[in-house]
């Protein structure tokens, strides 16, 4: 009896064809296209059929659902056709937040992506010669200018004129006593997918089948499961750990060198510091040892800065140029950390070593696409022009506490209400991205508490608002740091809080 009634209910379901001819559904096709509307209609009907089959719906509930079919199809369309990857407002004060996409790109980088990637480009085409070209030409010239003491920004012309002719292999001199940065045209840079890939390619090229000496104090794991020992194993090189977690002397490296040693490696302690009874071999000591023993010295900087961050109020962070000047042969670093560009892994250093990496078949597997080259080239040009404010991550670092405080006060005045208790207080912003782990920037925070919502609830409401606003919760208050909020997003925060208050 019951099953008869159930099959009757199934008969009340309209067909897809019938439904898409109703005016309500028909009108959706104008904005979403007929194919997507048909798919959505099918999906919504299938869901109803399932609910009937599992007896979740009775007659009255089904009729109610049928009345709302137009709305259900529209809701399904909205969800199915919405982007999953979407912008959020970063009010955490962590500038390089891996969960939030690390460095935002410069406007000029976005424009360069648009102009080169939406059409055809000379990615691998030498326009002057009319022959096949190399994709790394586009950025190598800029890196060379930024990372070499011998060439200055003024020397950077077009790709053709700026790149010095490659010397024949036989003429290529191994820079023995001098650092790569001191030899004109000696610094080469290649680009791979991220810094993890850069470390993998460099280790595989320089040390496969041999040993790499690294300090126990530098066997780091950083977020996203990048562990130096694991990468080393994949590269085919064997790790020779020396020293102890807190103390490693240059003599420890020296004792570990054998005929199997291929490389000395130093790894930046990205997200932690060892304090107290500590000792670390200095870069100068390692350079001297590497030169004496004819071994290359590599440094995984992680967050490689292209400018002296001292000018930005950040101390203790060596730049890529500092390392090369000190005589490190190869430096690996990320494109989307302190550099402020797209996700990429950069390998800069002695041309002969970088050439070997370029010739490694792994390089082909790890290479990056035209979007990355376009964004990177435009970002590097901003450095060449010393236009650091064009790079959002650097601009955010340079914002003063006073500038941020002014915006926070203005926002506070807008959102202060019977519902919100608002205060502007001193606080600290973080660089993030594994840079300068202990270095913070003084800031002013907007501290909110709400009569009817807990801090966690308020933070969640902000997170699910449109656009999503990501905040910190501390001691029962929601904290917003406008250092990492683009100024044109301030009104969006005010609007979201007004909606929550209403």
Toward ligand PLP, which CB reaches closer, 57 or 192? 192
Q: Spell out, one character per residue from 325 to 364, where the chain touches ligand PLP: x when CB under 6 A holds, - when not.
A: ---------x----------x-------------------
Q: Which residues contact 364 (CB under 8 A, 6 or more apart)?
A: none
Q: Spell out, one character per residue from 219 to 258, where the chain touches ligand PLP: x when CB under 6 A holds, - when not.
A: ---x---x--------------------------------
Please tell me the distance from the alpha carbon of residue 264 to that of residue 473, in angstroms, as a whole number. Answer: 43
Q: Spell out, one character per residue from 144 to 173, where the chain touches ligand PLP: x when CB under 6 A holds, - when not.
A: ------------------------------
CB of 270 to ligand PLP, least distance (A): 3
Please tell me the distance from the alpha carbon of residue 446 to that of residue 456, in angstroms, as a whole number. Answer: 16
List the one residue from 108, 116, 148, 194 that touches ligand PLP (CB under 6 A): 194
Toward ligand PLP, which CB reaches closer, 368 or 482? 368
Q: Which residues contact 187 (CB under 8 A, 6 or more apart)?
A: 143, 144, 147, 148, 180, 181, 324, 348, 349, 350, 351
CB of 317 to ligand PLP, least distance (A): 11
Q: Which stretch binds ligand PLP (CB under 6 A): 150-158, 254-262, 295-303, 441-449?
A: 295-303
CB of 199 to ligand PLP, least distance (A): 6
Could you say whether residue 432 binds ligand PLP (CB under 6 A)?
A: no
Could you say whether residue 270 binds ligand PLP (CB under 6 A)?
A: yes
Q: Which residue has tokens 């390619």?
A: 201
DSSP assignment of 351-374 equals HHHHHHHHHSHHHHHH---HHHHH
CB of 226 to ligand PLP, least distance (A): 5
Could you say whether residue 431 binds ligand PLP (CB under 6 A)?
A: no
Q: What is the dihedral of CA 6, 8, 12, 14, to 10 degrees?
A: 90
DSSP 183: S
Task: Pick the closest to residue 446 from 417, 409, 499 (CA basis).
Answer: 409
DSSP 437: T
Please tell me the distance from the alpha carbon of residue 70 to that of residue 127, in angstroms, as a whole number. Answer: 55
Toward ligand PLP, which CB reaches closer, 367 or 419? 367
Toward ligand PLP, which CB reaches closer, 373 or 420? 373
CB of 334 to ligand PLP, least distance (A): 4
For 347, the 3-state DSSP assignment is strand
CB of 139 to ligand PLP, least distance (A): 16
Closest residue to ligand PLP using C-beta atoms:
302
DSSP assignment of 227-290 equals EHHHHHHHHTPEEEEES-SSEE-HHHHHHH--TTEEEEEEE--TT----SS-EE--HHHHHHHH
List the one residue from 300, 329, 377, 481 that touches ligand PLP (CB under 6 A): 300
Burial class (CB in 10 A: 0-12, 13-18, 19+), 79: exposed
Q: Which stretch binds ligand PLP (CB under 6 A): 81-89, 124-132, 264-272, 312-320?
A: 264-272
Report in angstroms the alpha-carbon separations of 117 from 111, 121, 158, 370, 373.
Answer: 10, 7, 20, 7, 10
Toward ligand PLP, which CB reaches closer, 142 or 202? 202
Could you say whether residue 97 binds ligand PLP (CB under 6 A)?
A: no
Q: Which stretch binds ligand PLP (CB under 6 A): 194-202, 315-323, 357-365, 411-419?
A: 194-202
**Cβ(212)–Cβ(240) under 8 Å?**
yes
List the one residue from 116, 148, 179, 303 that touches ligand PLP (CB under 6 A): 303
Cis bond before residue 467 (omega within 30° of 0): yes
**Cβ(105)–Cβ(342) under 8 Å?**
yes
Could you say whether residue 196 binds ligand PLP (CB under 6 A)?
A: yes
Toward ligand PLP, which CB reaches closer, 148 or 194? 194
Question: Where on the chain is the footprint of ligand PLP (CB under 6 A)?
Answer: 194-196, 222, 226, 267-268, 270, 300, 302-303, 334, 345, 434
């Amino acid at each position: 009896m019951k099953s008869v009634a159930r099959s009757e209910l199934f008969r009340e379901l309209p067909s897809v064809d019938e439904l898409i001819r109703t005016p309500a559904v028909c009108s959706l096709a104008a904005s979403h296209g007929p194919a997507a509307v048909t798919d959505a209609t099918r999906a919504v009907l299938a869901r109803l059929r399932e609910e009937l089959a599992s007896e979740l719906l009775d007659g009255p509930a089904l009729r109610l659902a049928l009345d709302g079919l137009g709305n259900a199809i529209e809701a399904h369309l909205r969800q199915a056709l919405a982007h999953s990857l979407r912008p959020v407002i970063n009010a955490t004060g962590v500038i390089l937040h891996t969960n939030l996409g690390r460095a935002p790109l410069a406007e000029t980088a976005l424009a360069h992506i648009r102009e080169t990637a939406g059409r055809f480009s000379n990615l691998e085409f030498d326009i002057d010669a009319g022959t096949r070209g190399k994709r790394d030409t586009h950025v190598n010239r800029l890196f060379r200018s930024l990372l070499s003491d011998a060439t200055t920004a003024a020397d950077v012309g077009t790709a053709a004129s700026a790149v010095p002719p490659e010397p024949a292999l036989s003429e290529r001199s191994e820079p023995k006593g001098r650092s790569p940065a001191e030899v004109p045209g000696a610094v080469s840079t290649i680009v791979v997918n991220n810094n993890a890939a850069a470390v993998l390619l460099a280790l595989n090229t320089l040390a496969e089948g041999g040993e790499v000496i690294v300090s126990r104090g530098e066997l780091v794991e950083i977020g996203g499961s990048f562990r130096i020992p694991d990468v080393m194993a994949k590269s085919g090189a064997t790790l020779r750990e020396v020293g102890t977690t807190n103390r490693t002397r240059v003599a420890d490296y020296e004792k570990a060198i054998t005929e199997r040693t291929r490389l000395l490696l130093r790894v930046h302690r990205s997200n932690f510091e060892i304090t107290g009874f500590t000792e670390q071999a200095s870069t100068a000591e390692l350079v001297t040892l590497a030169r004496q023993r004819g071994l290359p010295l590599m440094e995984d900087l992680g967050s490689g800065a292209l400018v002296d961050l001292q000018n930005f109020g950040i101390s203790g962070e060596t730049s890529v140029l500092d390392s090369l000047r000190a005589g490190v042969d190869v430096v690996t670093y990320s494109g989307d950390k302190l550099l402020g560009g797209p996700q990429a892994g950069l390998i800069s250093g002695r041309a002969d070593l970088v050439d070997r990496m370029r010739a490694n078949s792994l390089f082909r597997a790890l290479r990056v696409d035209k979007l990355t080259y376009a964004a990177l080239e435009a970002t590097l040009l901003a450095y060449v022009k010393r236009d650091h404010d064009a790079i959002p991550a650097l601009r955010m670092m340079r914002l003063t506490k006073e500038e941020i405080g002014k915006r926070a006060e203005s926002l506070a005045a807008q959102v202060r209400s019977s519902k919100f208790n608002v205060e502007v207080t001193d606080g600290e912003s973080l660089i993030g991205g594994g840079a300068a782990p202990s270095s913070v920037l003084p800031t002013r925070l907007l501290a909110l508490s709400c009569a009817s919502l807990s801090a966690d609830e308020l933070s969640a409401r902000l997170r699910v608002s449109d656009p999503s606003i990501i905040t910190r919760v501390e001691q029962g208050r929601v904290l917003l740091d406008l250092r990492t909020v683009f100024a044109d997003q301030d009104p969006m925060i005010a609007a979201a809080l007004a909606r929550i208050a209403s």
